[in-house]
Structures are given as C-alpha cells and as structure tokens.
Chain A
C-alpha cells in the first residue's frame, strides 16, 4: 500500500459510518460508566473526556483524507482513543472502589476513634433514624458540621452494629473480584487484547457494581462506602500518628 492509493467514495462512506457507529456505541458505554461513578459520588476522570474528544478529531479528518494510509491511520487512531477511554474509566472506577473497600476489610488496622466519647456517639445514634436506608446521611445531620464526630460515630456504628464475620468474608470476596478484574483489564492492555465484544468489561463492571450494592445494602454498609475517605481523613491511623 502506498500513499497514492485512494479509497473510492463508497468505501470512505462505509468507513465513516463504522467510525460514527463506534463513537455512538462508546458514547453510550461512557454514559453507563458515569452512572456507576455517580452512584458513589465519584468524579468521572477528565482524561476520559479528552480521549473521547480526541476520537472526534480523528473522525473529522476522515472528511478531508482520501489516501488509504491516512484514512486507516485516522480510523485506528479513533479506535485507540475510544478503547483507551473506556478502559481508563473502568480501571479508575474499580481502583477507587477497591481501595475504599480494602480499608474496611481491615478497619482496625487503618481506623481509630476516641473511645472516651462513647456516650456522645450513642446519644447521636439514639437520635438518628437508623431504620432509614441511608443512615449515614442521618448521622451527618445529627453531627452538624463536626466531621470528627461524624467519622467517629460512623466507626462506632460499623464496629458494633454492622461488622460481622459474614460481612468480612463478603468484603474480601468483593475486593478480590475487583483486583482480579483490574488485573485482567491491565493484562489485556499488555497483550493488546481486544475483546470482540466491546461491552465485555463494561458488563463485568456493572455486575460488580450490582453485586456490591445488593450484597452490602442490607447491613447498611453500602452507605458508608462513599464516606470512607472522609472518615480516613479524620480517624485514619496514619493521620493520627502524624498529627
């Protein structure tokens, strides 16, 4: 193939159509990933948006290029940006979630709260509508803007009313599942593996999200997950050691 070989109008139209379909299909996948991010209040990575934007630049160039080499370059560039985009979105989501869960797996190792103030925590919990699904939001309301008190009360509630052997098993199971999925995604990158179905990993992420939500909802653990970093800031063992 050399620079002078050019595509006919119909061939170019077909390539443009395929690329446009990919942009649309991946756009829908990003929307779903966003839903997962929003569930836990996470920020969707900026890098993913810029990769998506860059795929459009390649698409636009298809309208001015005709020679085969340039057209194929643009086509592959477009695919590469879309694939990188969705992979980044999935890995970042899983990493963030995995790190949060890992802290709860060994919470005694990572968290500490002042046990001399137990009556305070109990009083707050007594005034909290714990039967409400999102008990964490109720605790926040009770604590006003006292973050330390909020973090300590959440830890107290976790230790006394949520934590159990069964929960620990489930958390470990989820963390292992998340780690394996991340590893799978990263190894796919090393091997330049392309699943024939682009939604393969997306479906794995959705299943992971659904499994996590459904299995942790009953105990109330689900609502603690997004508070992990706030609690870590206030009651993390490392923070206490350095303060």
Chain B
C-alpha cells in the first residue's frame, strides 16, 4: 500500500503531554456529569456543541452540499 507519509512533527514527549491535557479535560468534565469519551462515544462532546451549534449555520459552500441538497430536496 503506497501512501502519503504522516508528518512526524510531534515528539513522543509532545504526544504524552497532549494526552495528559485531554485526560485533564475529560476528568473535569466527568465532575460536571459529562460522560467520559475515553475510548468510545462516537458523538462529539455535547458540552462543546451547546456553544457551537447555537451559531452554526452550516456554512458549507461546497459542491458536496449542493449535491446533497439536490438529492434530498433540501432548499437553502
């Protein structure tokens, strides 16, 4: 399998630190009764979506979305 190589930018130490930051965030979310996403839950954190969805107007301008609209008869 020929493929594009993954850029090796993060050192092992960076990766460990990044995991540590994610763990810290997940721990404090658990204290607020936000379910732990470690190793699971396909749905992205609802806690973020609250803020993001409010202002989200699905600002796609791509052909993909046009095709989707056409296919499912969704008007703009």
Contacts and interface: CB of A to CB of B under 8 A. Distances in A.
Contacts of A206: 3-6
Name A's interface SS. helix
A233 interface: yes
A56 interface: no
A95 to B, nearest CB: 5
Interface in B13-43: 13-26, 28-29, 37-42
Given A28-B1, A41-B21, 8 more contacts: A45-B39, A136-B21, A137-B13, A176-B62, A183-B60, A209-B6, A210-B4, A210-B7
A133 B14 CA distance: 10
Contacts of A110: 51
Given A134-B17, A233-B25, A236-B51, A213 B7 contact: yes
25 contacts: A25-B1, A28-B1, A35-B6, A38-B19, A39-B9, A39-B10, A41-B22, A41-B23, A45-B39, A45-B42, A99-B44, A99-B49, A134-B11, A183-B60, A184-B64, A199-B3, A213-B10, A214-B9, A223-B14, A226-B21, A229-B26, A232-B47, A233-B29, A236-B51, A237-B51
A238 interface: yes
Name B's interface SS. helix
Given A183-B64, A183-B68, A226-B18, A43 B51 contact: no
A32 B6 contact: yes
A233 B38 contact: no
B1 A137 contact: no
